């Protein structure tokens, strides 16, 4: 590591923390680093850099209001892909964030406990609704909550909770939300969905992350039939666009693409681990879609990468952490390697 990078400056820390809320803020990055080369490489999110090949869409996917039959077809494809048992339903929504926004209305209760540290929108949404929110460190600390939230695998460290433990926990809380936004990148066996229905348990599945189509805005809730019906009613008619219905149904049915993508993502995550270790960073964890690493010089490294047009994800509550997504091309891999090598050399 060069001497100039040895001690993070106040400027580095302040700049990095401007990007600590969410990933994907390329407009803000361009404004903060106007001299950075284009195109930017966005490693600040955990989105598959090799998106599902959409292909041509029928014209009426754009020109007609979404049909009930198309929605039913998409949700049936999700039932098959996620291994849903009898007695549960899938509800499609314009992204899982749209479902998270509705959780306070779906689940009454003031004692909200979240297994942390994790995705910050749960705490924000429940707190805005007037609930008392606690972020707890151990699964057992969730017992007795009106509503408990577990992100599994966890963002940002990839922590995994066994599905059997989640089913057991569901009997000890008023309601349990299990966010499986990144589970599609893992081998089968980590999802709680096949273990449903459980009383007042809601599973969330992201579409955009694993399929690399975050801009499509598509996500799913999996729940008991009665709970699913209530959620569907809150979303209202035509919640999911015609193009999303068409693309989602295709992608969810494409088993060959799913299997090939899982294999590729595991290999690319291992490649990223090697680059980060070579730069002197300590791997904390992650999933095949992102890696979390630590360094005392994380703020300075964030700055050096951003000046080279590479955006990563810092964390306000742990300034030694940086989260890295996967580069989308060999040129992007080489550019990342060059900056990491220069910083640590």
Has residue 11 got a pLDDT over 70? no
- Residues 284 and 324 sit within 8 Å (Cβ to Cβ): no
Q: What is the pTM of this model?
A: 0.93
Q: Could you read off the pLDDT of 129-172 as tens digits, one per residue?
A: 999 999 999 999 999 999 999 999 999 999 999 999 999 999 99
Nearest to 339 by CA among 305, 299, 314, 311: 305
Q: DSSP letters along 133-174, please?
A: EEEESSGGGGTT-SEEEEESS-TTT-----HHHHHHHHTTSS
Lookup result for tokens 């040129």: 331
Lookup result for tokens 């066996």: 189
pLDDT band per the 50, 70, 90 thresholds, residue 200: confident
Cα–Cα distance between 229 and 262 in angstroms, integer? Answer: 32
- Residues 259 and 288 sit within 8 Å (Cβ to Cβ): no
Cα–Cα distance between 101 and 98 in angstroms, integer? Answer: 5
Q: Could you read off the pLDDT of 282-297 as tens digits, one per residue?
A: 999 999 999 999 999 9
Cα–Cα distance between 24 and 19 in angstroms, integer? Answer: 9
Has residue 93 got a pLDDT over 80? yes
Nearest to 191 by CA among 224, 144, 238, 151: 151
More confident site: 141 or 345: 141
Q: What separation in angstroms does the CA of 333 have from each of 19, 50, 256, 336? A: 22, 14, 26, 5
Cα–Cα distance between 328 and 3 in angstroms, integer? Answer: 31
**Average pLDDT of the chain?**
94
Options 3.40.50.10600, 3.90.1150.10, 3.40.50.11750, 1.10.490.130; CATH of 3-50+257-344: 3.90.1150.10
pLDDT band per the 50, 70, 90 thresholds, residue 24: confident
Confidence (pLDDT) at 108 = 86
Q: DSSP letters along 24-44, please?
A: --HHHHHHH-TTSPSSPEE-S
> What tokens does 76 get?
């049936």
> Which are the contacts of 49, defined by CB distance < 8 A and separation ≥ 6?
212, 325, 326, 327, 328, 329
Q: Could you read off the pLDDT of 224-249 as tens digits, one per residue?
A: 999 999 999 999 999 999 999 999 99
> What tokens does 275 get?
């680059």
Domain 60-253 architecture: 3-Layer(aba) Sandwich (3.40)
Nearest to 13 by CA among 250, 262, 315, 277: 315
Lookup result for tokens 């972020």: 135
> Which are the contacts of 147, defined by CB distance < 8 A and separation ≥ 6?
103, 107, 109, 111, 112, 113, 126, 131, 173, 174, 175, 176, 177
Confidence (pLDDT) at 198 = 75
> Which are the contacts of 127, defined by CB distance < 8 A and separation ≥ 6?
133
* Pairing verdict, β 147-151 and 175-179: parallel
Cα–Cα distance between 156 and 286 in angstroms, integer? Answer: 6
Using DSSP's 3-state secondary structure scheme, residue 113 falls into: strand
Nearest to 193 by CA among 96, 280, 90: 90
Q: Could you read off the pLDDT of 259-273 as tens digits, one per residue?
A: 999 999 999 999 999
> What tokens does 331 get?
């040129």
Query: Strand pairing partners for 42?
Result: 311
> What tokens does 218 get?
């598509």
Query: What DSSP element (H or E) covers 290?
Result: strand 290-294
Cα–Cα distance between 73 and 325 in angstroms, integer? Answer: 32
More confident site: 320 or 4: 320
Domains 3-50+257-344 and 60-253 belong to one CATH topology:
no
- Domain residue ranges of the chain, discontinuous segments joined by +: 3-50+257-344, 60-253
């Amino acid at each position: 590591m060069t001497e100039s990078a040895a001690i993070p400056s106040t400027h580095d820390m302040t700049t990095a923390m401007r990007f600590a809320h969410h990933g994907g803020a390329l407009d803000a990055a361009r404004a903060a680093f106007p001299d950075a080369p284009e195109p930017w490489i966005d490693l600040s999110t955990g989105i598959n850099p090799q998106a599902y090949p959409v292909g041509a869409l029928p014209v009426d996917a754009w020109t007609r209001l979404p049909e009930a039959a198309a929605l039913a077809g998409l949700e049936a494809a999700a039932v098959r892909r996620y291994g849903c048992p009898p007695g549960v339903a899938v509800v499609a929504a314009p992204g899982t964030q749209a479902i998270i926004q509705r959780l306070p209305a779906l689940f009454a209760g003031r004692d909200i406990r979240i297994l942390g540290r994790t995705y910050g929108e749960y705490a924000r949404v429940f707190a805005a609704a007037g609930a008392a929110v606690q972020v707890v460190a151990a699964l057992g600390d969730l017992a007795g909550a009106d509503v408990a939230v577990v992100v599994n695998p966890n963002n940002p460290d990839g922590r995994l909770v066994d599905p059997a433990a989640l089913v057991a926990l569901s009997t000890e809380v008023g309601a349990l939300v299990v966010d499986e936004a990144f589970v599609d990148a893992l081998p089968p066996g980590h999802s709680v969905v096949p273990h449903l229905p459980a009383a007042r348990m809601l599973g969330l599945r992201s579409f955009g992350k694993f399929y690399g189509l975050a801009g499509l805005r598509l996500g799913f809730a999996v729940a008991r039939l009665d709970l699913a019906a209530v959620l569907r009613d809150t979303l209202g008619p035509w919640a999911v666009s015609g193009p999303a219905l068409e693309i989602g149904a295709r992608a969810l049915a494409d088993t060959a693409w799913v299997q090939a993508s899982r294999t590729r993502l595991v290999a690319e995550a291992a490649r990223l681990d090697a680059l980060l270790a070579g730069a002197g960073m300590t791997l904390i964890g992650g999933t095949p879609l992102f890696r979390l690493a630590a360094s005392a010089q994380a703020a300075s490294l964030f700055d050096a990468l951003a000046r080279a047009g590479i955006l990563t994800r810092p964390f306000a509550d742990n300034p030694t952490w940086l989260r890295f997504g996967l580069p989308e091309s060999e040129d992007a891999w080489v550019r990342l390697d060059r900056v990491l090598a220069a910083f640590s050399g």
